[in-house]
Structure 1
Amino acid sequence: MSMDESRAHQWALCALAGITGFFCGVFVQQEASIRQLFQQIRRDPYVYHHRHKLYPMLSTFSTDHETRLWNGSTSLADKFREFIVSPIFDFVSAALMLKTDSATTTDLLDLIKYGLPSMENLYVHKDYIVSQDMCTNAPRWICEHFRGDYQKIVSDDGGYTALNLRYNDVYVLSCGATKICKAFKRRIWNDLEKYVSTKAKEFGSVYTYTGPIYTPSCHENGKWSMKYEVLDWIPMPVPSHYFKVLIVESHIPGLYSFMESYIIENSRLVGGKLSDHRARIDEIERFTGLQFNKVLRPVVQFDKNVFSVDTGAWPGRIKEISEPLGTQPSDIKY
């Protein structure tokens, strides 16, 4: 081999090494950026909401970020990232003492698996997410995830036992104002909380969205008005009703997730059976302006004495579910 050929060979090797190093560097930079983005998504609901806009900005090589986010990747490339690249990142981070998420960091994906009804003024707690309505100075909704081993909240010594404090939603939505939340003191609300607990034990996982509904009251003179209570010199509107949307996520093979919703009047006189308070999800959306998961939503047809659920949108379900009603579901009374 002549000297010119040897130099050309060396230049080719150098060029190949340079190109390889460049692409390896780009790949490492992409993976580092995506890992940091995933960490932010698991902590910040606003980053989660805009994640699809951030994926292209941080990606040079094509990959299914959404599948990777939910740990559902099965491709060879993603397996390589999981078993080779990720351990290397963890080792380097530990060696350089870089800041990493602690084991106690809340995993937001566990709470927002089925989406959020709105994105205004979100506050993340380790057990729930709440949206604060600045106009009413009260929560707009609260999202929780219950599992089969859920334990109820222990009442304190302040006399909150009468509020049926089984879940966080009652405590958060009451804002410490027991006279505003009349429905929480009634047996029907306790029946609803027990129903959620039963479904969590039966199916293994239940996501709930709970919040207030504000509708005006019509007086005998034909005039309409909203009721307010003054708390610490601050007027707060009194909800006319409370809603609860359930997403029952089955861990039993062959059974699929489904949605239910209930509306309970905020009154000391409210009662009856729990089935009497079953409502349409789009009815809750109409009165609150919220948007709930539409993928799981079945088509519910209310007939004279029977309601039927068209499960054609659910994969693997062919037959319709029908159940007799003791009482025809009624619309919200103003």
Structure 2
Amino acid sequence: MARPEDLLRPMPKGLYCEPGDFYIDPVEPVDRAVITHGHADHARPGHGVVVATPQTLAVMAERYGPDFAGRAEPLAFGETVVRGGVEVAFAPAGHVLGSAQAIVRGLGQKIVVSGDYKRRADPTCLPFEPIACDVFITEATFGLPVFRHPDATAEANRLLASVRQFPDRTHLVGAYALGKAQRVISLLRLAGWDRPIYVHGALERLNALYQREGVALGELRPATGLRAGASAGEIVLAPPSATQDRWSRRFADPVVAFASGWMGVRARARQRGAELPLIISDHADWDELVQTIAEVDPGEVWITHGREEGLLRWCELSGRSARALRLVGYDDEDVDGVGEGAP
């Protein structure tokens, strides 16, 4: 009987499947890569072949240009590709547009690699789908019991309450370009904000991609034409780094907000200069992580990139076989750059 490690094992470049000769989310260029989603710490350019959902391939093309890989091979949800006797398929991860869990079958084993995921409702992407498996490889970004995220709709309502309270100020919201910005916009629309939302130029291309993929974002306008005299009472979205640079000085006494799961940590909020921290996360919190493991009910749990020790201890106390992979090269959030292809 083959071991799970015979099918998929951690290597310096990432998770490697030797029978199929491919990596999942490799941190360096490889001959063949299976990519779970388009965030820059998981989807790097320069691979020979990239297998990903059509939406993730579109994201990579927007961020890195059409020649981001030697060849792109789209794999839609519900489809399967076979290489070296190993089957690879995708299931929705609920993280960002096109995000997927990688399902790897071979040698009598079924391993699911979660990639980054969340369990909360999000109109900008397909919801997470629990997949029964022998080994579940889960992220652990918020893998400590202290991380319990509030309802994202309530956080959007907090932002709108602040707009009503300070109508003479601009509300400048820091949000990462892929996934977070579009989710914040959608939350605001669901909360009743039907006025134009102004966006930094670094967000425009991915906003347009989401709209082409059928995600309704309402009326968006470039923030560059919005001056201090006209910006009072408006909502502006920008990459987090732009909320602290000269670009932000054009707005009327801005209330700086920042949308992230880390905003529940006061030191992080202070570091970001956030007057209005918004706890809106695209990762599973502690309760969602343990809920997911219980639902999937795998024979083994492998834990990667994040607070591995806390989730490892929970698995041990729950009588579940678990190990920490301690992969390196994955960040807690998307790239904090104003340019689409920032490293």
Normalised by the length of structure 1, the TM-score is 0.24
The structure with the greater share of residues assigned to strand is 2
The structure with the greater share of residues assigned to helix is 1
Q: Which has the higher contact order (CA 8 A, sep 6+)?
A: 2
Give the structure with higher Rg (CA): 1
